[in-house]
Structure 1
Amino acid sequence: MATIGLDKLYYAPITEAPTTGYETYGAPVMLAKAISAELSIELAEATLWADDGAAEIIKEFKNGKLTLGVDDIGKTVAAKLTGATTDENGVLISASEDGGEPVAIGFRAKKANGKYRYFWLYRVKFGIPSTNLATKGDSITFSTPSIEGTVSRRNKPDGNGRHPWKAEVNEDDVDVLPVVTSDWYTEVYEPEFDTDLEV
């Protein structure tokens, strides 16, 4: 179903275990008011040719690019996402050596039926926000920042031994309990699998 809205843009800090790099997520924090979110994906592809045809075709997630349009990026969020620092006078300083730590990104999109589709991207590393400025003319034009990040799979495997990069759910799916979406922003969603099922 088509989406007609976007809101509740959050980030959650990541702490990595020193030896494994496995992620532990901190409490989600509101990033900014969302204007747009564009996610594009790059796949690693390979084809095995045999008997004059494609015998095996593999397509796996390689990485993604997330571009967020937001109303404003405050000093605290900019420092966390990009590695910029605030000096003694409260001025945000960006340096060429800056590099923010990866974070998890969560948001939701309103569907045409009034229900929501929820997302968590498990590991996103952002660059410096872009700024668009323009002089005021005959009409009012809003200039808002955008920030671009690289989406990658997380290091910590899920219950199936795989490395997820995204969680996505529709609140109106019949097999989704209401608590899944009502608790979406209390913590980063952790995949649950029944390991007792026999194959």
Structure 2
Amino acid sequence: MATIGLDKLYYAPITEDAVTEEETYDTPVQLAKAISAELSVELAEATLYADDGASEVVKEFKNGTLSLGVDDIGTATAAALTGVSVDNNNVVISASEDGGNPVAIGFRAKKSNGKYKYYWLYRVKFGVPATNLATKGDSITFSTPTIEGTVLRRNKADASGKHPWKAEVTEGDADVPASVISDWYTQVYEPNFVE
């Protein structure tokens, strides 16, 4: 079913264990008002040829690119996502050595039936936001920032031994417990494979 909206854009800082490098997620915080989210995925692909034809094909997640259009990136959010510094006068200072820590990104997209599809991207490393500015002309044109990040799999394996990079669920699906939807932004969703 088609989506017709995007909102509730959150991020959750990640703390990594110094020895195991496994992630734990802090409480999600609203990032900004969402304008757009574009996710593209790159796959590692290999084909084994035998008996003059393709015998086996393997396609695995390599990484992705997330491009977010937002209404504004505040100073605290800029510091959390990109590693910039905020000085004593609350001025954002960008340095060539900046590099933010990865964060989890959550959002939801409204479907045409009024229900939502919810997402968590488990590990996103952002770069410096793009700034688009234009002079004021005869009509009003909004200029908003775009921030792009690389989506990675997380270090922490789930109970099935895999390293997830995304979780998504559709509100209203018969087998989805209501608590999964109601708790979506209270913490980053952890896969549940326990029987």
Aligned to 1:92: 92
Q: What residue number does 1:62 align with?
A: 62
Give, in angstroms, the shift of residue 167 of structure 1.
0.1
Tell me the residue number matched to 1:171.
Answer: 171
- Structure 1 residue runs of 5 or longer lacking an equivalent are none
Q: 2:15 aligns to what SS in structure 1?
A: strand
1:39-94 Cα distance to aligned partner (Å, 9 max, x none)? 00000000000011111000000000000000000000001100000112221000
Q: Which residue of 2 aligns with 1:134?
A: 134
**CA distance in structure 1 between the aligned counterparts of 2:150 and 2:8, rounded to whole angstroms:** 20
Q: Distance in 1 between matches of 2:62 and 2:118?
A: 22
Q: TM-score, normalised by structure 2?
A: 0.99
| Cα distance in 2 for residues equivalent to 1:159 and 1:112 | 34
Counterpart of 2:74 in structure 1: which amino acid? G
> After superposition, where does 1:1-199 map in structure 2 within 5 Å?
1-194=1-194, 196=195
**Alpha-carbon distance between aligned partners in 2 of 1:5 and 1:179, rounded to the nearest angstrom:** 23
1:178 Cα offset (Å):
1.0
1-side partners of 2:97 and 2:7: how far apart?
Answer: 32
Q: Could you list the per-position Cα deviations for residues 99-157 of structure 1 after superposition, in whole angstroms to 9, with x for gaps in the alignment? A: 00000000000000000000000000000000111111110000000000000000000
Shift of 1:96: 0.6
With the length of structure 1 as denominator, give the TM-score of the two structures. 0.97
The runs of 5 or more residues in structure 2 that have no matched partner are: none
Identical counterparts, % of pairs:
75
**Could you report, residue by residue, the CA deviation over 1:22-48 in whole angstroms, capped at 9, with x for unpaired residues?**
000000000000000000000000000
Stretches of 4+ aligned residues off by more than 6 angstroms = none
